[in-house]
Amino acid sequence: NPYAGLVSRLRAAWLSGKTRPMEYRVAQLEALGRLLDEKKQDILEATALDMGKPPFEAEFSEVILCKNELHETLNNLSHWMKDEHVDKNLATRLDSAFIRKDPYGVVLIIAPWNYPIHLLLGPLIGAIAAGNCVIVKPSEMTMNTERLMAEALPSYLDNDCFAVVTAGVQETTRLLENKFDYIFYTGIPSVGRIVMTAAAKHLTPVTLELGGKNPCYVSDTCDVQNVAQRVAWGRFFNAGQTCIAPDYVLCSVEMQEKLLPALRKAITDFYGPNPRESPDFGRIVGDKHFQRVQALLRSGRVAIGGETDEKERYIAPTVLVDLQPSDPIMQEEIFGPILPIVVVANVDEAIDFINSRERPLVMYAFSSNDKVVNQVLERTSSGGFCGNDTLMHVTLTSLPFGGIGNSGLGKYHGKFTFDTFTHHRGCLHRGMGREVLNALRYPPYNQQKLSIIRAASEVKRKGACTLL
């Protein structure tokens, strides 16, 4: 295997204990901070070359969010790493019981192309913080960003413990044959299954950050213009290539009539009369993706936008209406600047529609009535939830981010990333003496011994008392 040597070299480094001291972890994390500062312009240029990412969007989503993760981690790492002492029963009252925060070992992070810096460095920050050795595999789809990471990371991080592998599908398949101690994959469900299958051969635990069709319910009672702006921003940010973008709107016929002009206004306000000329609207990442998204325009009827340019990989911000649930655009994650509107009679029908499909990465609900938002929250299941806005839940390092069911498994961000890459090791350290107390649990057994052992080790229901 072409990667066996690399993996065994990193495993030797991990076994040496080099990555375990807090000072080492902090030094590596601070080096990542310098990379984000010193290479910021290179990041903006690479993401612009790869997918026409506007500088504002690139700096916000790739740099600022990464730095937030980094600072949250550096601010709290000493506390997160500490042994966590836990409650004891009567039998272990004089002993030490604690949870040790152990690194897993050698971990693999496979990143996607849509946010090629943030979704690579975000998990990496937690993996380093937890004391692991790491191989990162940036996406080959975004070639300029891939090259930037392959060149920059080795010059900032310790090469004994951290490596970048640049690989296409075939090479990644070979890479996955190696035994890792943890695999963190961000991408699509079909590849998630391949990663999980490879991991199963070694019983390697995984986090899978996948996608899905994120529903966005808009109730009849809301500020229509505010809803239109927040939905349009979430859908057309990064030219719609966001795993947490609102994928389709569910609303009544009456709301659709109000929402269409409001969306048209929001799109014009954001990108001008011709979004193609706007410096603030991105492009589709590659030809294959362009053709896939363009084909989805044939579903329903174009109410807004619909213009395309293959040479530029440009697809205008588009809104589709008159859709059937069986239309192609309602069968796969769109991952492009198209927003279908599906008409439902009321909130109950919307909830039934959502619950008849795979569980999404995020659920959106808009209403001036909190009861309606809470009803959608309580009666649906999704990785995350955001009421009366889009995307913004992802900016909080205090919230876990991850999918459920088809949209993924596991969670990260802030402390959740540290916990993901940490083995929580249950430990009990007893004294060598006081053997007379232990004699009660040794054979020969009798009823009196059992009564004492029960009393010494029992977890009692609150309010109950035990008579010896």
Catalytic-labelled residue, pool 133, 243, 251, 386 = 243
Structure tokens at 74: 């550096």
243 a catalytic residue: yes
Q: Report helix, strand or coil for 363.
A: strand
Q: Is the dihedral of CA 105, 106, 110, 111 positive or negative?
A: positive
Q: Is the dihedral of CA 163, 168, 171, 175 positive or negative?
A: positive
Q: Residue 69 in contact with residue 395, Cβ under 8 Å? A: no
Catalytic-labelled residue, pool 133, 209, 251, 333 = 209
Residue 87: CA count within 13 A, CB half-sphere = 4
List, in order, residues 6 or more apart from 162 with CB less than 8 Å away: 28, 128, 133, 134, 135, 136, 153, 154
Bridge-partner residues for 61, per DSSP?
none
Q: Residue 26 in contact with residue 259, Cβ under 8 Å? A: no
Task: Compute CA 434 distance to the chain's CA centroid, rounded to the nearest angstrom.
Answer: 49
Q: Report helix, strand or coil for 303.
A: strand
Residue 371: CA count within 13 A, CB half-sphere = 1
**Residue 446: Cβ within 10 Å count:** 9
209 a catalytic residue: yes
Q: Residue 161 in contact with residue 103, Cβ under 8 Å? A: no
Closest C-alpha to 177, from 411, 14, 6: 6
CA distance 244 to 154: 31
CA distance 99 to 423: 9
The secondary structure of 37-78 as a DSSP string is HHTHHHHHHHHHHHH---HHHHIIIIIIHHHHHHHHHHHHHH
Q: Report helix, strand or coil for 381.
A: coil
**Cα–Cα distances in angstroms (integers) from residue 331 to residues 57, 98, 194, 214, in the given order:** 28, 48, 21, 12
Residues with catalytic function: 209, 243
